[in-house]
Chains A and B, each alone.
Chain A
Amino acid sequence: MSLPSLNQPFVEGSVQTRVGAVPQVSSSLAWADRWGSVKARWGVGRMHYTIDSGLYALGSPDGHSPVLVTANYKMSFDRLREALPGRQAWILVLETEGINVWCAAGKGTFGTEELVRRIASSGLEQIVSHRELILPQLAGPGVAAHQVKKLAGFKVIYGPIRATDLPSFLDSDLKANAEMRQKTFPIGERVVLIPVEFVSALKWTLLMLPVFFLLGGLGGPAGFWSNALDYGLFAVFALLGALVAGSVLTPLLLPWLPGRAFSLKGLGIGLITAFIFTAFRAGNLDGWPGRFEIVGWFLMIPAFSAYLAMNFTGASTYTSLSGVKKEMKWAVPLEIAGGVVGLCLWLGSRFTA
């Protein structure tokens, strides 16, 4: 038997069982738990936000209490216990290397094999008298219910997708209604995904900014630094605008943006962004250099925004791999072409008399 350590900050005590002292947790989160979630959302230490796998006691469960299964990503565990105030249950945590249930199920780490292994190593058979497990529905891609039954003797019952629906699921004879079974992608869920998207895109945008700023100084009508402060500084703002369009506005406005392909959605909002930014340069439109510059940004901003939007497919909850591949077949070449041609026009505009 292997039991999780009692020496974890969120463990409040222990419950004595036939197999030993099972760590006890409560449904109320401490300040440290909440702060941990915030950090994970911003991508700080997200890869190491794990807890020990194995069996935990929520409240004071007994042999008849339900067994809920989750991943060892601390946030998955916290969402689960937080949803069950005043309830007594066993929580079986699978080893998923700190990855949430759905992703781990897709990878196969939250899978039949790990579940069967964890049932055995936790001594669950000696702790509960029933033979039922409640799994989140999103474990489906990894767990084959009929095989768990065959291999471990436990019946897998798929609970609702959202932990917050668990109380009503438990109270209605373990039946989920159609709404509990559908994975939607509402605005609140999209908003919490924005920080990670933004921060990861910002990292390499920050590398590009000084390059564009200095390139802006080359050629042009005036001296190097006054050019840089004019063309270069505008480039910096334009790139940041495209970053916000692709990694913040696209996720936020997703259902309302035209097109099904994410690149199209990002393209649309990129074009609007290009309009707004280049309006500040409209004074330069009477000469060829100014026109080149503006056309260049009309290609670069939407291309960058479309690329970032395309990357949001990974975080979204409804894109298929076949669809993403189809989208990328046309979108990636166009994004690269837009970026390269735009960059050439922009650089060229500096050397056009």
Chain B
Amino acid sequence: MGQLTYLKNVVTLELDEEKCVGCGMCLIVCPHAVLSMNNGNAMIEDRDLCMECGACARNCPTEAITVQAGVGCAAAVINTALGRDASSCCCVIEPAEDQGAQVKDPKESSQASCC
């Protein structure tokens, strides 16, 4: 089965080609083949496939990639909006911690996660 695509033109993924040293780590960790290698530089091949997991940004040694990482989970978004913890559902919400320099937290300053 091919890749499923979610909504178009929404993701926050950015790549600064100036900073990229072409190590290829981002290609390895991306679970949706969003990135590709072009003349020794990473490039965004299909941004609509990105799920904002943040793996590429976290593993880029030169901080060339930024993305507002988070988990695309409606229940978590609802629970964040209601300001409650979601122990009844699969999603767990935690107050934002410092997630490392290159991974920007969502604006709501909380990280939601599902399993």
A interface with B by C-beta (< 8 Å) = 99-100, 102-108, 137-138, 140-146, 158, 161, 176, 178, 181-186, 196, 200, 254-255, 260-262, 310-311, 313-328, 332
Query: Top 8 A-B pairs ranked by shortest CB distance?
Result: A140-B55, A314-B73, A103-B115, A319-B72, A321-B70, A140-B29, A183-B31, A314-B114
Say whether B72 contacts A324, CB under 8 Å: yes
Say whether A254 contacts B4, CB under 8 Å: yes
For residue B30, which residues in chain A have a CB less than 8 angstroms away from its CB?
140, 181
Say whether B32 contacts A183, CB under 8 Å: yes
State in angstroms the CA–CA spacing of A146 and B102 once bound together: 13
Query: Which residue from B12, B92, B113 sits with its C-beta under 8 Å from A322?
Result: B12
* In the complex, per-residue mask of B31-55: 1 if CB is within 8 Å of any chain A CB, else 0: 1110000000000000001111111
State in angstroms the CA–CA spacing of A138 and B28 once bound together: 10
Give min CB distance, A201 to chain B, whole Å. 10
Give min CB distance, A258 to chain B, whole Å. 13
Give min CB distance, A136 to chain B, whole Å. 10
B interface with A by C-beta (< 8 Å) = 1, 3-8, 10-12, 25, 28-33, 49-56, 58-59, 61, 68-78, 88-92, 94, 97, 99-100, 106, 111-115
State in angstroms the CA–CA spacing of A196 and B75 once bound together: 14
Say whether A260 contacts B8, CB under 8 Å: yes
State in angstroms the CA–CA spacing of A137 and B75 once bound together: 26
Say whether B59 contacts A144, CB under 8 Å: yes
Say whether A320 contacts B11, CB under 8 Å: yes
Apart from A137-B55, A140-B56, 13 more pairs, CB < 8 Å: A182-B3, A200-B90, A262-B74, A314-B90, A318-B3, A320-B7, A320-B70, A321-B68, A321-B106, A321-B112, A322-B11, A322-B68, A328-B78
Q: From known contacts A140-B58, A146-B59, A323-B10, infer whether A103 and B113 are also in contact, taking CB-CB under 8 Å.
A: yes
Say whether B1 contacts A255, CB under 8 Å: yes
For residue A141, which residues in chain B have a CB less than 8 angstroms away from its CB?
53-55, 58, 69
Say whether B113 contacts A107, CB under 8 Å: yes
For residue A317, which residues in chain B have a CB less than 8 angstroms away from its CB?
31, 51
Which chain B residue has the least Cβ–Cβ distance from A98?
Answer: B115
Give min CB distance, A137 to chain B, whole Å. 6
Give min CB distance, B100 to chain A, whole Å. 7
Give min CB distance, A48 to chain B, whole Å. 13
For residue B73, which residues in chain A have a CB less than 8 angstroms away from its CB?
313-314, 319, 321, 324
Query: Which residue from A103, A107, A185, A322 sits with its C-beta under 8 Å from B4?
Result: A185
For residue B58, which residues in chain A have a CB less than 8 angstroms away from its CB?
140-144
State in angstroms the CA–CA spacing of A196 and B88 once bound together: 11
For residue A107, which residues in chain B have a CB less than 8 angstroms away from its CB?
92, 94, 111, 113
State in angstroms the CA–CA spacing of A34 and B112 once bound together: 30
Q: From known contacts A255-B1, A260-B6, infer whether A200 and B55 are also in contact, taking CB-CB under 8 Å.
A: no
State in angstroms the CA–CA spacing of A106 and B93 once bound together: 11
Give min CB distance, B7 to chain A, whole Å. 4
State in angstroms the CA–CA spacing of A67 and B76 once bound together: 34
Give min CB distance, B57 to chain A, whole Å. 9
State in angstroms the CA–CA spacing of A105 and B59 once bound together: 13
Which chain A residue has the least Cβ–Cβ distance from B89?
Answer: A200
> Which one of A137, A316, A323 has the greatest number of beta carbons of chain B within 10 Å?
A323
Q: From known contacts A140-B58, A143-B58, A144-B58, infer whether A108 and B29 are also in contact, taking CB-CB under 8 Å.
A: no
**Sampled A-B contacts (27; CB under 8 Å):** A100-B115, A103-B71, A106-B114, A140-B59, A141-B53, A143-B58, A146-B25, A158-B29, A181-B28, A181-B30, A182-B31, A200-B88, A200-B90, A260-B6, A314-B89, A314-B114, A315-B90, A318-B5, A318-B32, A319-B51, A321-B52, A321-B70, A321-B73, A321-B112, A322-B12, A324-B74, A326-B10
State in angstroms the CA–CA spacing of A108 and B103 once bound together: 12
For residue A326, which residues in chain B have a CB less than 8 angstroms away from its CB?
7, 10
Say whether A328 contacts B51, CB under 8 Å: no
Say whether B111 contacts A145, CB under 8 Å: no
For residue B1, which residues in chain A have a CB less than 8 angstroms away from its CB?
184-186, 255
